[in-house]
Amino acid sequence: MVEAAVDGLKVELWAHDPAWERTAKQEAGRLAHVLGDNLITVHHIGSTAVPGIKAKPTIDLMPIVRSLSVLDASSDDIRVLGYQCRGEFGIPGRRYYTRTIPDTGRRLFNVHAFQHDSAEIDRHLAFCHYLRHHPDEARAYEAEKERAAALHPNDTLAYNDAKAGWLKPCELRALIWWNSSKASTVVEC
């Protein structure tokens, strides 16, 4: 599988848009159509799934599949939907796809697909749920995003790196919370 480099895109933070949830569901349906029986579920993750905080207007989706090898065999079908396959892109066991507007290059979707037994699934879900249930942490994350965007307004990779010092400890807090509650009261992301 070829792993293409992601170029540094402009960082824009938008006020939360309730339409992001609907857009995520629609795109999850398109993915479900091509992934078929290999797909278990698709989660809407990332900042666009957290009401009340600014986010880059790029929807992050996390399909959970039964088999990565079956997913890899369906890569052409995913490309037909307008996605570029970027391989693992730094996270072992992930299949990362991006979809952009061809004329402008604006990123619409990031898709982070994992096999059902990946430990990465809980990390992503825990963070999303944690922010939804801890508004102070969500606001702190928004402030961190604004700080990183001011430092790196034209490079999403540098922007992501700039947030890492804040993000890693928060992810750990989120995982501890997630594992202690395992979410009987947690709302689906």
Q: What's the total number of domains in the chain?
A: 1
Q: Which of 24, 186, 20, 42 is nearest to 114 (CA)?
A: 42
Mean per-residue pLDDT, 59-80 = 97
- We report the CATH number of the domain holding residue 60 as 3.30.460.10
Residue 4 pLDDT more than 80?
Answer: no
Domain membership of residue 162 (yes or no) is: yes
Mean per-residue pLDDT, 154-159 = 92
What pLDDT shows up at residue 3?
Answer: 33
Domain membership of residue 2 (yes or no) is: no
Domain membership of residue 91 (yes or no) is: yes
Domain membership of residue 6 (yes or no) is: no
Domain membership of residue 186 (yes or no) is: no
Domain membership of residue 14 (yes or no) is: no
Domain membership of residue 62 (yes or no) is: yes
Domain membership of residue 67 (yes or no) is: yes
- For 49, the 3-state DSSP assignment is helix
User: How far, in Å, are 14, 60, 134, 138 from residue 97 at the CA level?
Assistant: 22, 10, 29, 26
Look up the domain containing 154 and give its range.
19-181
Mean per-residue pLDDT, 170-181 = 94
What pLDDT shows up at residue 8?
Answer: 64
The reported pTM is 0.91
189, 44 Cβ separation under 8 angstroms: yes
